[in-house]
Amino acid sequence: MLESPETILQGAEILQKILGVQTCYIGIEENKPDAIELLREKTKGRSAMAVISLHVKYPQGAEKQLIKAITGREVPPGGLPMDVGSVVQNVGTAHAVCEAVTRNIPLIERVTTVTGFGIRQPKNLKVRIGTPLEFLISQCGGLTDHRVKVIMGGPMMGIAQHNLEAPAIKGTSGVLVFPLGDIFLEEEGPCIRCARCVDICPMNITPCHIATACEFEKFEEAEFYGAMDCIECGSCVYVCPTRRHLVHYIKFAKSVITARKRAAQSAEKK
Ligand code: SF4
Ligand code: SF4
């Protein structure tokens, strides 16, 4: 946003034109005042665009949460943003759209944050898609320890990597590296029905019920309790006093439900 504001705004205008969108809201959390100020300056005179300063909150980047925070509209369970007349794109996508349309450049690189106590010199890097994580880490002064945990993505939703040959992909927003001493491996306990996971869930579903249904392979029940609406934010796991692997169960339930639906659809076609 600070380095390429015009490219982002041009990309947003192209998206507006293609999709027939009347107003484009650019939501930025208030802990980035420099980006808010710059984009407000750049959008002066663009009447169909507004920059909205948002409270810092997690999770807020998911499309349903953003729509609620900016417009007050609620996407119904199982629904899509278009059901409430909205479409959400991130600034990286707007940038990529402008590059593709005006310069004929496909998506070949992205900005990635390489950070964590396991990295000697944390940096934001512009990386070619396909670059091995090992190379990114070497560009940041290397590791502080020979035993580390590497996560591709953010601290709540990122995925641990098996080795450093894994490539940066178009969704690699960050690479987090933790020394082993900073990692807590806690045993999973039984659900004590405290409902903390239910209270915290931004999608208003019941993670404890979905996880239990999944454990007993009752996937219809998991779907009934809203498994497919889970945005995998990890908030439920964070608050669970017995460290239930709730997101793991829910992801598994989602994959089984999706596979069953696909199988049913292809059986219908035959
Ligand atoms: S927070 Fe954990 S222990 Fe509490 S109801 Fe949810 S799954 Fe059960
Ligand atoms: S990860 Fe947990 S808290 Fe987040 S949406 Fe899914 S069930 Fe709700």
Per-residue pLDDT of the chain (270 residues; tens, 9 = 90+): 999 999 999 999 999 999 999 999 999 999 999 999 999 999 999 989 999 999 999 998 889 999 999 999 999 988 899 999 999 999 999 999 999 999 999 999 999 999 999 999 999 999 999 999 999 999 999 999 989 999 999 989 999 999 999 999 999 999 999 998 888 888 999 999 999 999 999 999 999 999 999 999 999 999 999 999 999 999 999 999 999 999 999 999 999 999 999 999 988 887
Residues with Cβ within 8 Å of residue 176, at least 6 apart in sequence: 115, 116, 150, 151, 153, 154, 155, 158
Q: Whose CA is nearest to atom 7 of ligand 1?
A: 208
Tokens of 97: 């759209």
Q: From the CB of 247, is ligand 2 less than 6 Å away? A: yes
Matching residue, tokens 């994580």: 133
Element (H, E) at 211: helix 207-215
Nearest ligand by distance to the CA of 231: 2
Our mutation pick for probing the ligand 2 site, out of 58, 60, 156, 205, counting the most ligand atoms within 8 A of Cβ, is 205
Sign of the dihedral through C-alpha 57, 58, 60, 65: negative
Find the 243 Cα to ligand 1 centroid distance in Å.
8
pLDDT attached to residue 260: 95
Please enumerate in sequence order all residues whose Cβ is within 8 A of that of 209, keeping only pairs 6 or more positions apart, or say none.
Answer: 221, 225
Q: pTM here?
A: 0.86
User: Does residue 230's CB lie within 6 angstroms of at least one atom of ligand 2?
Assistant: yes
Is the preceding peptide bond at 122 cis, omega within 30 degrees of 0?
no
What is the pLDDT at residue 184?
82
User: Dmax of the chain from CA atoms?
Assistant: 58
State residue 235's pLDDT score: 96
